[in-house]
Structure 1
Amino acid sequence: MTPPARRRPLDDLDATRAFARATAATLPHGALLLLSGPLGAGKTTFVRALARALGSDADVTSPTYTLVHEYPTPHGPLVHVDAYRLDAAVDLVRLGLDEYLDRARAVVVEWGAPLEPLYPDALHLELDRVDARHGATWRRGPA
């Protein structure tokens, strides 16, 4: 039986950075990490902290209009995708997701839940904000 998912509070930026460092330490090379959560839950903030934890000093911004940003890390690029404006998971596949996965340190997809049926081994992190308090829950986390 799978234990119930436990929400981790991310009360401030330091907590988010610490969580991102812990994630980076266990994130398999070439991992697909799907992020879900409402607007303002901290998805881009988490990706920014993850990029730093993976060794990138790039200016991490939301790829809402460009759809994809790449940030260099010492072990391959961190690919950051925003799927908010895409109509279906097939649109993400058309972006060349498999090619990114072949060469990236990790691919992180904001609004990525529609990809779960196509990528059953993907990691899934749900970020939330309840009463102005942020948190994270692994729906499918790293080993």
Structure 2
Amino acid sequence: MTLPLNVGETRLLCGLEAQQALGAAFARRLPPASVLFLEGELGAGKTSFTQGLVEALGFTDSVTSPTYALMHLYPAPGGRVLHVDAYRVRDPNELYEMDLDDLIRGSRLSVIEWGERLYADYPDAPILRFAHVDAQPEVREVTRVR
């Protein structure tokens, strides 16, 4: 799979539109049933990136962080998107007890934030790290880790 970022590559994104555009570019290039991990501090752009990704697959409603719900399902013409926020999950088995495997298998794309404890279960899944850029509040840095 040829993705918009190579492993080890970093890109600076200036503003919300740039974050969403990168998400859209990933949506167009990730094959069906892909898992994508996002990591980074709060407010670093993970959800904005996901908004662009989900919208590129044809979902037209609001895309929000699933921090309190743990997961959101977005039905889109391009296939359902699963959006998971594992920040508050202490044990990955909690997610598996919520049928995570079945949800992933039935989704066009699964985006998992704060999913470090799941990396070994999905060794081929790309990992993107988002970060703030000091002294530039509108700029985010995104690096493809894997």
- 1:104-131 CA-partner distances (Å, limit 9, x unpaired): 0101111112211121122211111121
| Residue identity (%) | 43
Query: Over the residues paired in the alignment, what is the CA RMSD in angstroms?
Result: 1.5
Matched with 1:130 is 133
Q: CA–CA distance in 1 between the matches of 2:124 and 2:9?
A: 20
Aligned ranges 1:10-89 → 2 under 5 Å: 10-89=13-92
Aligned ranges 1:107-118 → 2 under 5 Å: 107-118=110-121
What is the one-letter code of the residue matched to 2:94?
A: D
Q: CA–CA distance in 2 between the matches of 1:134 and 1:14?
A: 11
- 1:71-104 CA-partner distances (Å, limit 9, x unpaired): 1111321111110000022222222121012110
- 1:4-42 CA-partner distances (Å, limit 9, x unpaired): 612111111221122112111111101111110011111
2:24–2:54 contact (8 Å) kept in structure 1: no
Which TM-score applies when normalising by structure 1?
A: 0.89
User: Please, which runs of 5 or more residues in structure 2 have no aligned partner?
Assistant: 1-5
User: Please, which runs of 5 or more residues in structure 1 have no aligned partner?
Assistant: none
Q: CA–CA distance in 2 between the matches of 1:75 and 1:130?
A: 33
Q: Which runs of 4+ in 1 moved over 3 A?
A: none
Which TM-score applies when normalising by structure 2?
A: 0.87
Confirm or deny that 1:94 pairs with 2:97.
Answer: yes
Paired residue secondary structure (2:122): coil
